Amino acid sequence: MAAAASVTSTFRSAVKGAYKYPSLTPSLSKLVQNEAPIRISASHDLPMGKWSKEDVQEAVSSNVMSTWSPGVTKYGLPVISHGEGIYLYDTNGKQYIDWTSLAVCSNLGYTVPRSVMDATIEQMETLPYAYGDLVMTEIRARMSKLMSEIMPGDLQGMIFPSSGSEANEAAIMMARRYTGKFKVLSYYRSYHGTTGNALQATGDFRRPMFGKDHVPGFVKMFNPHNLFWDYAGETRDEQCETALKMLEEQILYEGPDTIALFSMEPVVGARGVLIPSTKYVQGVRSLCDKYGILMHCDEVMTGFGRTGKLFGFQNFEGVIPDIVTAAKGMSSSFLPLSMTACRKHIMEVFEEKPLGWGTTYQAHPVPMACAYENLKFLIKNNIPGYVNSLAPKFEEYMRMLAENHPSIKQYRSIGFFGAFDIHLPNGEIPGPEHEAAFVEYKKAYTEAGLIKLLRAPIIHVAPPLITSEEQLQDGFARQDDALYTLDEALGY
């Protein structure tokens, strides 16, 4: 008791309760002027094209950021002043052939059809904006009807985001809401976009490099084409059967009752124009039907004539996806617009419940007016048929270059869409340590007058769909000249 009395006298009495602790109110220690007078440089009043090279470079250095490439790469880009047909011209007057439709976008090149220009300007003048969930517009009704008329089967439900990534986000949300399931199957060798779900559905280097696999619900599959091995079988048909059996087993292990969507590019684009067999794609459709999984074809690169068909999946007899996404060629990238289309039975479900996806610019009337006339031009002038008619010549040039350059292991092509695989003298795939060789190659093809997307060690060829036979010959000749530099740089 004496000890207890001593403690009580030394320390304060215990308090029963749950009272707040004292704290200091956070205060900003360094105030920054955030309401300075707005002053716009007088140079902004100059007409476009009247800035000096120094003005442009200063703004690029101080204010412009790159996206897929480190910022320092912006200093080596040609500054383009204008375009005409399949050609781009820089501020020094140098002419370039757009040899990959930039990012497989500019399908009609750079001379905008008069009907497209007039419709876009008229829409700007009459109704420059409308929010899709608050009002309806005639151009939205027209565009939806046109798309349902040119798509096969009962693909008739339409929404119109702005980019391919957004279209694929909408497709994923649509599948999950429709099925009540969560998982999405997609391939390792694939690209579906840069936003959260679209990037996680992606299989190429951008997913582990930028996405870091933090988004749940996505499962990767092996493509029917693999880098280092073949499926078991003596013939391609037997290998296809093995690939489909492997795919079915993976579906069973994952649990069909957990899988909402099977996403695939009908022809894999960024990872090298990988063209599956008709038997394989028919097999995928059959597996989706068997296990109640929605089949989604990502046509962002392949849609609207790139493969010689209006849509890439039409190269595979009898196959109709449940959901189709498209962008790029939809408006020939004159203005940003994309599409997520679904079959009738899916559309009907969302008559009674919301899709749960939307953006500020969904169904924007101006890009829809542009795309509406662009598609009418594409169809009335049979651009897909034109591409298909020149596809044998395109492939002939691809074959000639592959035979002419030891650095090319093999090639693939369909329509106006081709890719060369590059290899080293020892047969291996070039790695990051060979970057300098591709830098030299890029200098060579730029000097030869080509502007193109480069995804080493794959070399793409995808010119605008209006390219003539003579222009194809010219473009491949320029590519041929540049490839000698790559041969030498890789040690051949």
Using one digit for the tens of pLDDT, what is the confidence trace for 196-254? 899 999 988 777 777 778 889 999 999 999 888 899 999 999 999 999 999 999 999 99
Q: Are residues 403 and 372 part of one domain? A: no
Q: Are residues 218 and 281 part of one domain? A: yes
Q: Are residues 473 and 418 part of one domain? A: yes
| Sign of the dihedral defined by the CA atoms of residues 176, 180, 183, 187, in that order | negative
Of the candidates 215, 279, 271, 275, the one whose C-alpha atom is nearest the C-alpha of residue 247 is: 279
Q: How confident is the model at residue 2 (pLDDT cuts 50, 70, 90)?
A: low
Go through 250-286 and write b for each residue having 16 or more CB atoms within 10 A of its CB, e for each that does not: ebeeeebeebbbbbbbbbbbbbbbbbbeebbbbbbbe
Would residue 332 be called left, alpha or beta, if left means φ above 0 and alpha means ψ between -120 and 50 degrees? left
Q: Are residues 366 and 320 part of one domain? A: yes
Q: Are residues 133 and 279 part of one domain? A: yes
pLDDT, average across residues 163-180: 97
Q: Are residues 326 and 304 part of one domain? A: yes
For the chain, the first-to-last Cα distance in angstroms comes to: 95
Domain of 175, CATH number, reads 3.40.640.10
**Domain limits at 374?**
114-380
Q: Are residues 405 and 310 part of one domain? A: no
80-84, 191-195, 196-200, range with greatest mean pLDDT: 80-84
Task: Please tell me what DSSP assigns to residue 389.
Answer: H
pLDDT, average across residues 29-53: 91
**Residue 69 falls inside a structural domain:** no
Residues 381-405 pLDDT 10s: 999 999 999 999 999 999 999 999 9
Q: Which two tokens stand for residue 357?
A: 């996806």
Which stretch of DSSP H or E encloses residue 393? helix 383-404
Check if the beta carbon of residue 460 is closer than 8 Å to that of residue 382: no
Residue 29 scores a pLDDT above 90: no
Residue 165 scores a pLDDT above 70: yes
Domain count, the chain: 2
**Residue 8 falls inside a structural domain:** no
**Residue 27 falls inside a structural domain:** no
Domain final position from 324, 346, 380:
380
**Residue 64 falls inside a structural domain:** no
Domain final position from 380, 410, 438:
380
Q: Are residues 133 and 84 part of one domain? A: no
User: What is the number of alpha carbons within 13 Å of residue 58 lying toward its C-beta?
Assistant: 6
Domain final position from 312, 346, 380:
380
**Residue 59 falls inside a structural domain:** no
Distance CA 201, CA 193 (A): 8
DSSP string over 94-131: -EEEETTHHHHT-TTTTS--HHHHHHHHHHHHH-S---
Q: Are residues 216 and 128 part of one domain? A: yes
Please tell me the pTM assigned to this model. Answer: 0.93
Q: Are residues 337 and 288 part of one domain? A: yes
Distance CA 428, CA 490 (A): 11
Q: Are residues 123 and 99 part of one domain? A: no
Looking at residue 433, what is its pLDDT?
95
What mean pLDDT value characterizes the chain?
Answer: 94
Q: Are residues 165 and 183 part of one domain? A: yes
Distance CA 467, CA 485 (A): 26
Residue 13 scores a pLDDT above 90: no
